[in-house]
Amino acid sequence: TKYKSILPLTRIYITMVGIVTLLGLILGDELSQGLLALDPIRVMYGLELWRPFTAACFLGPPSIGWLMNAYYLFEYGSSLERAFGTAQHLLFLLLQIGFLSVFSAFFAQPFFAQSVITSMLHVLSRSMPNQKVKWLIFTVPYWTLPYGLMASDVLQAGNAAAALPHVLGILSGHLFFFHKNIWPKLGGEDWLVPPDFLVRRLDADARNKSKDSISAALKSRKKGKGKKLGSS
């Protein structure tokens, strides 16, 4: 089915968005805020550890805006997962949830799914900044797309405060992009590498390559059987 053909981590994220949206409809606005919103005090002292994850999944009640954001989440999430691999994408998402939990708590933002979407788009756009893409009726460089999305939300809301989730997303996305792509080129260490066990567990291609390399090594040993050490 089409659902099962979605890349695994993107499929899980979209499913969580659907579940959290359904919970929001059942609970109503007030209870949703009380149960699903980011609350640093309750996270730290009440150990309500689900809150950063539900805050990253809540896109509001169903609407045209909700559909557009869910589509962006699917589109940008799939692109990143395809480019990074599932293990690296998982690390990216966990770091974004961590960064955005801190930023959103500081700016009193109860939900930050929109910021996650912008962070995905920022990383994609910085990876190929000069590629030409369509936005509305314009053809623009890819790096401008996060700012175009921010501008359109500000114009629709008629309020400059609508830019804040996008600003936080660009900031958190750039933290990842800088340490993953820029810092190593300057001589620094790439510390955003997923553990090997996670790569083996989540990335089928990596598992297949590992199996192929082991098979090739065994075949070469069989072919070289009986050779003395140091013989040519």
pLDDT at 217: 42
Q: Structure tokens of 120? A: 């995905």
- Express each pLDDT in 12-70 by its tens digit: 999 999 999 999 999 888 888 889 999 999 999 999 999 999 999 999 898 998 999 99
Residue 69, amino acid: N
Can you give the pTM of this predicted structure?
A: 0.83
Q: Measure the CA–CA gap between 56 and 209, rounded to whole angstroms.
A: 34
Rounded-to-integer distance, Cα 38 and Cα 42, Å: 8
Q: pLDDT digit string (tens) for 104-140?
A: 999 999 999 999 999 999 999 998 888 888 777 778 8
When pLDDT is cut at 50, 70 and 90, the band that residue 205 belongs to is low
C-alpha torsion angle, residues 38, 43, 46, 51 (rounded to 10): 50
Distance of alpha carbon 134 from alpha carbon 32, whole angstroms: 36
Mean pLDDT of 210-215: 43
